[in-house]
């Protein structure tokens, strides 16, 4: 298989389904955060790709205001990647052909979300228990002619780890890339990733495999690469907490601070969204930026009391 014996380094360019990604450090889709302004920010800092918040294939058919916000993009975003959530192959095929996704380069399929309501609906992690249906979903998305990636977990629990079979199915069904969250569904977002199983996924396929889960520092990022042999990594919560990590990991020169970044986020968000959305998004992002920073408890409370953009800008001076 390709890449056997090759040691991959963080920051390298990588080819996925014929698309050249500027680096092998990616930003995972996260509900409430990876909107257009955030994706622009991490791309500028060195992320090779950043994905939209997960979009329901069932919701796409209504083309409502909320869905339009999730899908918002423009030419400033170099590589456009959308993540879809669903459980019915025909719904995916309809979604990727209805025109709303024409501007996107990559379709990522969520086969890892562990949230109970999602799993009960036969979506997200539930697809790990129905490999034939998961295969049909990938095949349906590939008929769009776009690059297709899959984000999944190792299995439902430690007694039922299916990642090797699942990874081979993904490749065989036409997936161009696989992102493996190194936890089982029942682990949710806690516990040390099971590195050996990510390595097993990497070793049994020739498509690029990205490792995800438990990366909350530069040291953990390098540890993930060393222990899994992955082609790259996908950051999640730590990418929100500390966006400059993308520059650190990719060697991209940057003088940006959290303060300069969040001010720019306000500017871009105001161009694209209504004031209510901007206030909500920036408050959530600022709270993450302040995580683990001493003496910010009162500042967080003050920020959440802000009722206008000028008030918010003033309150955010605490990040200077």
pLDDT digits (tens, 9 = 90+) for 187-218: 999 999 999 999 999 999 999 999 999 999 99
Q: Of 35, 113, 170, 306, which is the active-site residue? A: 113
In this structure, the answer to whether residues 136 and 172 fall within a common structural domain is yes
In this structure, the answer to whether residues 245 and 279 fall within a common structural domain is no
Asked, for residue 2, whether it belongs to a domain, the answer is no
243-252 residue pLDDT tens: 999 999 999 9
Asked, for residue 3, whether it belongs to a domain, the answer is no
Range of the domain at 303: 258-319
| % pLDDT > 90, the chain | 90
Q: Does the pLDDT at position 1 exceed 70?
A: no
| % pLDDT > 70, the chain | 98
Of 250, 272, 291, the residue at which a domain comes to its end is 250
In this structure, the answer to whether residues 186 and 294 fall within a common structural domain is no
Q: State residue 271's pLDDT score.
A: 97
38-68 residue pLDDT tens: 999 999 999 999 999 999 999 898 888 899 9
In this structure, the answer to whether residues 279 and 135 fall within a common structural domain is no
In this structure, the answer to whether residues 108 and 125 fall within a common structural domain is yes
Query: In angstroms, rounded to a whole number, what is the distance separating the alpha carbons of residues 55 and 45?
Result: 25
Can you give the CATH number for the domain in which 161 is found?
A: 3.20.20.70
Phi, psi for 291 (deg, rounded to 5) = -55, 130
257-284 residue pLDDT tens: 999 999 999 999 999 999 999 999 999 9
Asked, for residue 1, whether it belongs to a domain, the answer is no
Annotation marks residue 113 as catalytic: yes
Per residue, the 3-state secondary structure of 215-244, as one string, reads CCCHHHHHHHHHHHCCCEEEECHHHHHCCC
Query: In angstroms, rounded to a whole number, what is the distance separating the alpha carbons of residues 203 and 197?
Result: 10
130-187 residue pLDDT tens: 999 999 999 999 999 999 999 999 999 999 999 999 999 999 999 999 999 999 999 9
Query: Is the CB of residue 218 less than 8 Å from the CB of residue 226?
Result: no
Query: What's the number of domains the chain is made of?
Result: 2
99-142 residue pLDDT tens: 999 999 999 999 999 999 999 999 999 999 999 999 999 999 99
Q: Does the pLDDT at position 5 exceed 80?
A: no
Asked, for residue 112, whether it belongs to a domain, the answer is yes
Q: State residue 3's pLDDT score.
A: 44
DSSP the chain: -TTTTPPP-TT--EEETTEEES-SEEE---TTT-SHHHHHHHHHHT-SEEBPSPEEHHHHTT--HHHHHHT---TT-SS-EEEEE-S-HHHHHHHHHSSTTTT-SEEEEEE----HHHHHTT-GGGGGG-HHHHHHHHHHHHTTTSEEEEEE-SBSSTTSB-HHHHHHHHHHTT-SEEEEESS-GGGTT-S---HHHHHHHHHT-SS-EEEESS--SHHHHHHHHHHH--SEEEE-HHHHH-TTHHHHHHT------HHHHHHHHHHHHHHHS-HHHHHHHHHHHHHHHTTT-TT-HHHHHHHHH--SHHHHHHHGGGG-
In this structure, the answer to whether residues 44 and 119 fall within a common structural domain is yes
- Give the residue carrying structure tokens 């060697």: 251
Query: In angstroms, rounded to a whole number, what is the distance separating the alpha carbons of residues 185 and 154?
Result: 8
């Amino acid at each position: 298989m390709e890449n056997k014996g090759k040691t991959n380094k963080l920051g390298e360019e990588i080819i996925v389904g014929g698309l050249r990604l500027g680096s092998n450090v990616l930003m995972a889709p996260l509900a409430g955060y990876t909107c257009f302004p955030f994706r622009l920010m991490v791309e500028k800092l060195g992320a090779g790709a950043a994905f939209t918040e997960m979009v329901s294939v069932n919701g796409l058919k209504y083309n409502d205001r909320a869905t339009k916000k999730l899908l918002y993009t423009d030419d400033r975003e170099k590589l456009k990647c959308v993540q879809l959530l669903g459980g019915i192959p025909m719904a995916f095929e309809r979604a990727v052909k209805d025109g709303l996704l024409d501007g996107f380069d990559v379709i990522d399929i969520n086969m890892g979300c562990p949230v109970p309501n999602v799993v009960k609906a036969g979506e997200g992690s539930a697809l790990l228990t129905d490999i034939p249906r998961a295969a049909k979903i990938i095949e349906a998305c590939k008929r769009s002619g776009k690059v297709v990636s899959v984000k999944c977990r190792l299995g439902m629990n430690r007694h039922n780890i299916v990642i090797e079979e699942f990874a081979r199915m993904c490749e065989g069904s036409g997936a161009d890339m696989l992102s493996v969250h190194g936890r089982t569904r029942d682990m949710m977002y806690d516990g040390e990733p099971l590195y050996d199983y990510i390595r097993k996924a990497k070793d049994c396929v020739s498509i690029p495999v990205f490792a995800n889960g438990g990366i909350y520092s530069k040291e953990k990022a390098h540890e993930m690469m060393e222990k899994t042999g992955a082609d790259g990594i996908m950051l999640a919560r730590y990418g929100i907490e500390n966006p400059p990590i993308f520059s650190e990991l990719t060697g991209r020169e940057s003088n940006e601070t959290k303060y300069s970044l969040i001010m720019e986020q306000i500017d871009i968000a105001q161009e694209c969204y209504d004031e209510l959305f901007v206030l909500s998004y920036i408050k959530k992002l600022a709270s993450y930026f302040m995580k683990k920073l001493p003496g910010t408890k009162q500042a967080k409370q003050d920020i959440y009391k802000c009722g206008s953009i000028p008030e918010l800008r003033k309150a955010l001076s605490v990040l200077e």
